[in-house]
Structures are given as structure tokens and as C-alpha cells.
Amino acid sequence: MINNEYLKVILIINLVYILPVALVLYDVVPFAWRFCALIVVAAIIASIGYLYRFSAVELGFTSSQLRSAAKAIAVPTLVTAILMIFYHAQQGARLDNSAYSWPFYLFFIGLSVPLQEFLFRGFLFALLTRLKLATWGQVILSALLYSFVHIIYRDLPTLIFTFLFGLAWSVYYARFRNIYSIIFSHALLGSIAILLGLA
């Protein structure tokens, strides 16, 4: 029999992680409002986190292990960035992202990425840890939900790559429980991918 905590988590995942994406996907919420939806969802999740009394440490906002986490993720991030640049030099852009100007990148790096990492790593791992879900389950669910949010772009390669990146970032997060290093990696790789028209 499923206990109340499992039901609460299932409800949170469906209402906050799946429903808003479905509303954008089926044009109930206009695609142009997707970032507004992200901000609203983050505010709702922050309120839920307050009700759960999650500490900053539980959410990954800690200087603990920051140096180790940053060292561990730096090389794979830089190698991936170089591979993306090399791919672009050989194959060119997949998508036309020329409409994005520098204010978009400031928003992406300064607000969108930290909110995404709070939603898909910090809060979700804290919630699933309290539920005593195995770490591998937390990693897989985090990567699946992170990839799923990108379904609104209706692009299969984007779904595949966001799942793979989500998996890698979730593994690092599960190991170090430090969100700052993941934010750095996500901001760098995401900006490069968008700038080069790869995502």
C-alpha cells in the first residue's frame, strides 16, 4: 500500500513538473511564456520546500565539497564544450537561434539555469531523499524530468541530449550534493549549445 508521503510526492511531480510542461506543449500556455512558467513553477517549489523545511544544505546550496565538486566537473565540462565547438565547426548549426540576443543569455545564465538546477537537482533530490528513494532512482527520475521539460521544443535530439546531460549532472549532484558546480557546468554548456545552434 502506498503511504501518504509517496502520494504527496507523486502529486507534486504531476502538478509541478509534468502539468506545466503539458500546458505549454498543447498550447494552453503560449510557448513564448515558457520562461514565465519556469519562474512560477520555481516559486511554487520554493513554497513547497519551505513547507518541508528543507535547509539550504539539503537543497545543495552549500560551500561544502565545492572545491571537490568543481574539480570533478570542470574537465568533463570543458571537454564537452570543446567537442561541441568542434562539431559546430564540422557540421554547422542544427537550429537557427539567431533571434536570441545578449539579454537572453544574461537571463539564461543568471536566472533560468539556477532555477532549473534548483528544480531538477536541489529540490527534487531533497524531496526524494526524504522519501528514502535509492540514489540511482533519484538520478534517473531527475534526468527523465529534466529531459521531459524540453519536449516543448519538439526536437528529438534535444530530448536525447538533455537526458544525457541531465543524467551526468544528476550523477555529479548525487555524489557531491553541491548545486553551484552543476549551475556552472549547465550555464557554460547550455550557453554554448544555444549560441552554436545545437540546442
Confidence of residue 2 (pLDDT cuts 50, 70, 90): low
User: How far, in Å, CA of 7 to CA of 181, rounded?
Assistant: 32
Query: Structural domain tally of the chain?
Result: 1
Please determine, for residue 1, whether its predicted confidence score (pLDDT) is greater than 70. no
Question: DSSP strand E in the chain: where?
Answer: none
Q: Does the structure show a pLDDT above 60 at 168?
A: yes
Q: Is 26 left (phi over 0), alpha (psi -120 to 50) or beta?
A: alpha
Distance of alpha carbon 130 from alpha carbon 53, whole angstroms: 11
Q: Over the stretch 98-107, which tens digit does the pLDDT of each residue have?
A: 899 999 999 9
Q: What average pLDDT score do residues 44-64 get? A: 94
With contact defined as beta carbons under 8 Å apart, do 191 and 109 qualify? yes
The mean per-residue pLDDT over the stretch 103-130 comes to 96
Cα 169 to Cα 172: distance, rounded to the nearest angstrom: 5
What is the SS3 assignment for 93? coil
Q: Give the model confidence (pLDDT) of 135-153 as tens digits.
A: 999 999 999 999 999 999 9
The arithmetic mean of pLDDT across residues 165-177, rounded, is: 97
Q: Is 153 exposed, middle or buried (0-12, 13-18, 19+ CB in 10 A)?
A: middle
Q: At what angle do helices 156-176 and 66-91 cross, to 10 degrees?
A: 160
Mean pLDDT of 172-182: 96
pLDDT at res. 64: 87
The three state secondary structure string of 169-191 is HHHHHHHHCCHHHHHHHHHHHHH
| N-to-C CA span, the chain | 42
Q: CB-based contacts of 34: which residues, under 8 Å, 6+ apart?
A: 24, 152
CA distances from 139 to 34, 59, 128 (A): 25, 15, 10
pLDDT at 183 over 70: yes
Q: pLDDT per residue over 22-43, tens digit each?
A: 999 999 999 999 999 999 999 9
DSSP-derived letter for residue 131 is: T
Domain encompassing residue 48:
4-195
Confidence of residue 3 (pLDDT cuts 50, 70, 90): confident
Mean pLDDT of 75-97: 95
User: What is the distance between the alpha carbons of residues 163 and 177, in angstroms, rounded to a whole number?
Assistant: 19
